[in-house]
Amino acid sequence: MQSRNGNIHLRSAGTSVVIDLAAPGFPAIIHWGEDLGELSESQLSDISIAARPQRVSGGLDNPSRLTLVPLESAGWQNEPGLVGSRSGQDFSPSFGLAEAQGSTAEDVNTASVRLRSVDEHAQLELQTTLTLDDAGLLHQQHTLTNIGTTDYELQQLLATFPVPQSARELLDTTGRHLRERSPQRHGFTTGRHVRDSRRGRPGADSTLFLAAGTPGFGFEQGLVHAVHLAWSGNQRVAAERTVAAHGLLQAGELLAPGELILGPGDRYTTPDAMGSWGDGLTAVSARFHESVRARPNHPASSRPVTLNTWEAVYFDHDLERLTRLADAGARVGVERFVLDDGWFRGRRDDTAGLGDWFVDDDMWPRGLTPIVDHVTALGMQFGLWVEPEMVNADSELARAHPDWILQAGGHLPLEGRQQQVLDLSNGAVYEYLLERLDALLRAYDIAYLKWDHNRDLLEAGSSATARAAVHNNVLALYRLLDELKARHPELEIESCASGGARVDLGILSHTDRIWTSDCIDPIERLTIQKYTNIVVPYELMGAHIGGPWSHSTGRRHELALRAGVALPGHFGIEWDISRLDDAELDELAAWVDAHKRIRELSHRGRAVYADLPDESADLRGVVSHDREQALFAYTQVTTSTSYPPGAITFPALDDDRVYRVSLASPTTPLEGPGQSPLAWTEHPVHLTGRALRTMGIQAPVLFPEQLRLIDIVAI
């Protein structure tokens, strides 16, 4: 950290953040982006002076600044960063900076600063921490402390990131069950664009990130800044442009009325709001991935190839059928076998049993021991599906403890998926779930829990406090996950939420992967995985091969497409492969082997997406950090207006190296009627990275919804 005359300069991994401590009302970020290099005292001072706005006619005598916490008391007349009061009083805080403490850790190239401010009249203390980590990702958190003698109701506390004037277009994501993280773009005009999530979890329709960039920015080009909120409950993400030429992104928890009352001495810390920037979305994504991979709890071992039983057997938990499925899994190279929904007391369909976390004696008279022993004897890990936060009305738990259910006004919320939600913030509920899950993990050799969350929250109040309880339930969930892992250090947990409705780096601080979507149709997955991957690296994204007929869309696809789309992720199978013959099993085993060959590359390398001019095709890949090797998947999504198609170009390679380009197995050349062999598939070519980036190679002629792998290796 470099500090001069009331200015702070944080530098790391090609990023600079300059903070003006003397901005009126609260410190302000006056630069976030490209590294400015070492700055002298006078240069830092001049940067601050150069950023000060002029007074204009019809405006305030002291023009407002975009600060880290913009406030009305400093002249900010747009959305304030902090909203709250003491029963309507002290509604407009005004902070004076008390101190700034910074540090830099040379060994990890990380810089941070903590700003402490106090409003003596409103009796509030605000601490803001800015950290620029070794990936150049900017983390921002605020801690508000009530230093008064009466309660303070906090309504909103948002992290604010400035964006440059060139940012004139917004990108975020929306979606639904089976179609999460679908991109949408908007002009970034004057006004406020808000994306709220009020579902008690981020939700299938929530935005994973909010990006602002130069018009038309893509994965390979265009200056772009983006924010992500690492939080698994209600949230608000917004972009705003003001008539005073301020552009900003904001992120924070969305609080219900009366949900967060700070008593004397109480404090609240916002979720980690993360900001990334770069020339193109691939550069933005790379900062997120590098930061996530540097976390101490990031999985260090190779991600096991997983077979999940859901689409294979659904609720048909017949031991003989399951053992045949496990045998087939071992035959093709599966490393983890997961028994999905249907194993616990009273569970014959999805209308009963949730909450009664005891093995069903009728279905499993010898407990889970037979299937666990069979799976582990085959050399595979055993995993189990659970949905601890939920309860069916038709369950022993709901009948015994109706007061354990989240509710408001003395009535239960409308049901979703024939179930309600438990109040984890109630200590009795927490202890019951901890005891039940711990007992299962002690009784059986369970290496993995598929932790599901299959409905949105409505009227999520605690019967113990009569207040909204989403905030406290998220914190209780985090504690429960951490406690189970502390008791069982080898345990891994997947976050599933009716597919991909709880995908964020908050839940991934306590779990080991997310289930990307319940839809494993590969055409749908192309988009879902692409935009999930902007924040979440491949090794944390569950990506499975479904059966030939998609259960969610009804489409049919060949194995090469289904497997090729899943190949770079946390790879698995969601398919009754016990019915396959030897030839079909050999073909599937070849794809499992292919994943294992490229697993290190996919889970450590840089994910890249080509901005192809022909939107009928998709080209994506992973490039090793030393740029020695790369694997790309080319998919003909729909028919093209060009026939044959034109050239495809490959980003992120070393311009000056020479690469061998060839078709990668298990895919093979495709020749249709009247079609000649493609030259470079017959004779691998050797081209520089510059030639591959600018000129490219002829795309193969494929039928719609076909995929081929392209291997690129430095020579």
For the chain, give the percent of residues with pLDDT over 70: 98
Torsion 22-27-28-33 (CA) sign:
positive
Question: The whole model's pTM is what?
Answer: 0.97
Which residue did the predictor score with more confidence, 578 or 105? 578
- Compute the average pLDDT of residues 218-244: 98
H helix or E strand, kind and range, residue 429: helix 427-443
Which pLDDT score is estimated for 1? 57
Tokens 């023009």 belong to residue:
63
Q: Burial of 516 by CB count in 10 Å (0-12 exposed, 13-18 middle, 19+ buried)?
A: buried
Is residue 316 predicted with pLDDT exceeding 50? Answer: yes
Which pLDDT score is estimated for 629? 98
Is residue 110 predicted with pLDDT exceeding 90? Answer: no
Tokens 């400015």 belong to residue:
36
Question: Phi and psi (nearest 5°) for 135?
Answer: -100, -5
Architecture of domain 306-605: Alpha-Beta Barrel (3.20)
DSSP 511-574: SSEEE--S---HHHHHHHHHHHTTTS-GGGEEEEEE-SB-TTT--B--HHHHHHHHTTSEEEEE
Which pLDDT score is estimated for 109? 41
- Please count the other Cβ atoms lying within 10 Å of the Cβ belonging to residue 467: 17
Give the confidence band of 98 by pLDDT, cuts at 50, 70, 90. low
Is residue 4 predicted with pLDDT exceeding 80? Answer: no
CA distance 291 to 230: 13
pLDDT tens figures, 339-390: 999 999 999 999 999 999 999 999 999 999 999 999 999 999 999 999 999 9
Give the confidence band of 145 by pLDDT, cuts at 50, 70, 90. very high
Residues in a beta bridge with 269: 143
Which pLDDT score is estimated for 225? 99
Residue boundaries of the structural domains of the chain: 79-293, 306-605, 610-714
Is residue 508 predicted with pLDDT exceeding 60? Answer: yes
Residue type, 392: N
Which pLDDT score is estimated for 107? 32
Mean of pLDDT over the chain: 96
- Compute the average pLDDT of residues 93-112: 65
Residue pair 685/645 in contact by the 8 Å Cβ criterion: no
Residue type, 705: E
For residue 683 the two structure tokens come to 């004779």
CA distance 540 to 538: 5
CA distance 672 to 677: 9
For the chain, give the percent of residues with pLDDT over 90: 93
CA distance 16 to 38: 10
Architecture of domain 610-714: Sandwich (2.60)
The hierarchical CATH code for the domain 79-293 is 2.70.98.60
- Compute the average pLDDT of residues 562-586: 98
Is residue 108 predicted with pLDDT exceeding 50? Answer: no
Pairing of strands 169-176, 179-187: antiparallel
pLDDT tens figures, 637-663: 999 999 999 999 999 999 999 999 999
32-57: b (≥16 Cβ within 10 Å) or e: bbeebeebeeeebbebbeebeeeeee
CA distance 470 to 99: 34
- In this chain, the answer to whether the domains covering 79-293 and 610-714 adopt an identical fold is no
Residues in a beta bridge with 17: 10, 32
CA distance 496 to 451: 6
- Compute the average pLDDT of residues 502-514: 98
Known catalytic residues? 452, 518
Q: Looking only at Cα atoms, what is the longest distance across the chain?
A: 85
Cis (ω within 30 of 0) for the bond into 183? no
Which pLDDT score is estimated for 458? 97
Which pLDDT score is estimated for 24? 87
CA distance 691 to 657: 10
Which pLDDT score is estimated for 106? 36
Which of 44-53, 189-198, 235-244, 673-682 has the lowest average pLDDT?
673-682
Residues, the chain, total?
Answer: 715
Order of all β-strands in the sheet with 247-253? 159-162, 247-253, 235-241, 191-197
Q: What is the CA radius of gyration of the chain?
A: 27
CA distance 42 to 39: 8
pLDDT tens figures, 464-496: 999 999 999 999 999 999 999 999 999 999 999
pLDDT tens figures, 41-92: 899 999 999 999 999 999 899 899 999 999 999 999 999 999 999 999 999 9
CA distance 86 to 153: 6
User: Which SS3 state, helix, strand or coil, does residue 686 take?
Assistant: strand
Residue pair 650/637 in contact by the 8 Å Cβ criterion: no
How many alpha carbons lie under 13 Å from residue 507 in its C-beta half-sphere?
28
CA distance 227 to 32: 12
